[in-house]
Structure 1
Amino acid sequence: MSHKAHELAAEFPDDLEVLKHLKATRGHFAVLADRYDEVNGAIYRIETELDAASDTRLEDLKKERLCLLDQLGRMIRDAGAVGA
C-alpha cells in the first residue's frame, strides 16, 4: 500500500502524541479526523485515477480537506497549549 499525501501524522509530525490523545479522548476531534481521512482518501483515489470525478468535485473535496485541516490544527494547537 502506498503512502497517501496529506495524512494527519504527516501534517502534524511534531504533535503526534497530542493527535493520538485527542483521537482517543475527544469524540468531536475523532469524528473530524475520520472525515479528514475519508476526504483525503477520496482525493488520493481521484488523483491516482483509481476513481473518476469532475474537476469541480475534486476541488470541492480539496476545499473540505483544507477546512477540516484548519479545524483539526486549531484543536491540536489548543490542546498542546494546555498540555492535552
Structure 2
Amino acid sequence: MLHEYRDIISKLKLDNAHFAKIFERHNELDHKIADADAGRDHISDAELDALKKEKLKLKDEAYAMILAYKKEHSL
C-alpha cells in the first residue's frame, strides 16, 4: 500500500497507534481478498465486495494521514 511513502509509513506506524491499526487491517484485508481471488478461500461475491470497499476506505484514510504528515513536516 502506497509504497512511494514507505519512509513516512514506517514513521507513522511507530508514532501513531491509529495509523498502525489501519495499516494492519488493510494488509489483513489484502490477504483475504487475494485468497478469495485465488480460490483459496470461498466467500460470497457480496462479502468480497464488502472487503474491497473496507480496504479502499482504509487506504483513503491512511493516505489522508500521510498527506497531513507531509504537510506538517514540510515534506
Q: Say whether the fold is shared (TM-score over 0.5).
A: yes
The separation in 1 between residues aligned to 2:3 and 2:16, in whole angstroms, is 20
More deviation, 61-70/12-21: 12-21
- Out of 38, 45, 59, the position equivalent to 1:48 is 38
Structure 1 segments (4+ residues) deviating >2 Å? none
Aligned alpha-carbon RMSD (Å): 1.2
Task: Give the SS at the match of 1:49.
Answer: coil
Higher helix share: 2
Deviation at 1:61, TM superposition (A): 0.3
The separation in 2 between residues aligned to 1:61 and 1:22, in whole angstroms, is 24
Partner of 2:52: 62
Q: Please, which runs of 5 or more residues in structure 2 have no aligned partner?
A: none
Letter in 2 for 1:50: R
**Normalization by structure 2: what TM-score?**
0.92
Q: Please, which runs of 5 or more residues in structure 1 have no aligned partner?
A: 1-7
Partner of 1:37: 27
Percent of pairs with identical residues:
28
Corresponding pairs, count: 74
1:22 equivalent in alignment to 2:12: yes
The separation in 2 between residues aligned to 1:58 and 1:75, in whole angstroms, is 26
Task: Give the SS at the match of 2:39.
Answer: coil
Deviation at 1:13, TM superposition (A): 2.7
**Normalization by structure 1: what TM-score?**
0.83
